[in-house]
Homo-oligomer: A and B are copies of this chain.
Amino acid sequence: MARFRVAVHITPRKGLLDPQGQAVAGALHSLGFSGVSAAHVGRYIVLETEAESASAAGAEVKAMCGKLLANPVTEDFEIEPATPL
């Protein structure tokens, strides 16, 4: 067993309402950043986990995303390749 670092990007699914992104875009306009046409706010989760291999670590993180980290109805997730620690 070795330790791996796996990063995950979780983003609101395209085409669904993204109220947090809209709020950020509006606040940026209020602050004078008038060039901003859109903002999307997601989560960035970094996990340190033990696994047999990098691919096993990635598969385990995919299961974590399905069970806890991401909302499968409204969010998409993308798992970066695991890197050894």
Contact surface of A with B, Cβ cutoff 8 Å:
1, 3, 9-11, 24, 27-28, 31, 33, 35-51, 60, 63-64, 67-69
Contacts and interface: CB of A to CB of B under 8 A. Distances in A.
> How many copies of this chain does one complex carry?
2
B49 A11 contact: no
A43 B45 contact: no
B60 A24 contact: no
A1 to B, nearest CB: 8
Contacts of A1: 35
Contacts of A49: 33, 35-37
A82 to B, nearest CB: 12
A1 B36 CA distance: 12
